[in-house]
Amino acid sequence: MIAFLKKALFGIQQRLNRNAKQLTVLQKKSHLSLKEIIQKIDAEISSKIPHSSGLTTKYEQLGGANNFGFLRHALMPETNCSWVTKFALSEMLTRERFLLQWHQKQVLPQMQFAPKWLTSGVLGDSNISFMVTECLTSVKSPSFQQVTELYSRSQQGGEVFQNPEAVPVLEPGSRIRDILVNLVCQFDSPKAKTFLDHYFLERKKQLPLFQAQMDWIEEALSKIRLNIGTVEKESLGFVHGDFKPSNMMLSRKGNLKLIDFQYWCYGIRVWDLAFFLSKQKKGFEQTVLVLITLLELSEQEKKLLIFHYVIAVLLHPKSKQFKWQFTHQILPALKD
């Protein structure tokens, strides 16, 4: 019991330290005190919402590595929607803000898959941007039924690409961005083959005890890729890019929605499902095969799902986990 309490207290202290550090960075980079920041954001919200007196605001760290914390807002008396403000470097919020503004204007309420967008802007003359959106509630473990319904609704996002010249470009530069740019957005291009070669070389270096298994996986995926051939138009569309449980939250009406739209792009849609399934601590039969029965996927989409599922499982390779991953996730996916 004492050990449990010590661990809990340690966790609380870590969160407090993280809050204090990110708040310090936010104030330093914006050249504003927390009081001044709150006053500015509260004024922005009040200008957008009639009769918003009684607004209470609190600084919190609600998660995510690419931000400087959040403000949580509540209106008294409580309305149908409370709000949350996210702070991040301006370049980090550009694509997310673009998508949410479009989504707010173009997607019908019953088909929405992202939080409501209220307003956004910049803190003074700094490079810190803010964005005020609907405050959602965490969900510990969304069901496969909820996830497939959310995936289907997110298909509405494909309409944002009707004017491709206006869409902010997704740049490579991190592990997941590189996969999205090379294997999701241009799966059947020469760049994809070059990227795959590099991807497996990198993982062989990280998993020196499993060279034979990695060679087998690489060969199996190459055969699947050749068998898939040219990707059909029906397999392409809106991709969230970071489709995982921690980026899924519930609205007040109980609808599952997505957050953190930094990696969205036009590409192979089933990447989102593959990435979600790779995060499940269960085997292939309990995840991929179960989810396939809930969706009407074409034969090509099923092959693409398996291909990208294995790629996603290998995203962060660790020797201690790989034996289990190979036996329960990768081998069953590729054995046929």
pLDDT category, 324, cuts 50, 70, 90?
Answer: very high
Q: Are residues 29 and 149 in the same domain?
A: no
pLDDT at 6 exceeding the cut of 50: no
**Structural domain harbouring 236:** 144-334
Q: Are residues 149 and 83 in the same domain?
A: no
Element (H, E) at 254: none
pLDDT at 77 exceeding the cut of 80: no
Domain boundary among 135, 152, 180: 135
* Alpha-carbon distances of 143 from 139, 149, 243, 294, rounded to whole Å: 10, 10, 14, 12
CATH, residue 176: 3.90.1200
Q: Which residues, in sequence order, are CB contacts of 38 under 8 Å at separation 6+?
A: 57, 59, 71
Mean pLDDT confidence for 301-314 = 98
pLDDT of amino acid 18: 59
Q: Are residues 50 and 116 in the same domain?
A: yes
Q: Are residues 244 and 328 in the same domain?
A: yes
Residue bearing the bigger pLDDT, 313 or 140: 313
For the chain, the domain total comes to 2
pLDDT of amino acid 333: 97
Structure tokens belonging to residue 51: 């009769």
The three-point CA angle 97-103-105 to 5° equals 105
In single-letter form, the type of residue at position 16 comes to L
pLDDT of amino acid 225: 96
Residue pLDDT, tens place only, 166-180: 999 999 999 999 999
Name the pTM for this structure: 0.91
* Alpha-carbon distances of 245 from 84, 137, 151, 257, 320, rounded to whole Å: 19, 12, 12, 10, 23
pLDDT of amino acid 64: 76
Residue pLDDT, tens place only, 194-246: 999 999 999 999 999 999 999 999 999 999 999 999 999 999 999 999 999 99
Domain boundary among 107, 135, 163: 135
pLDDT of amino acid 270: 98
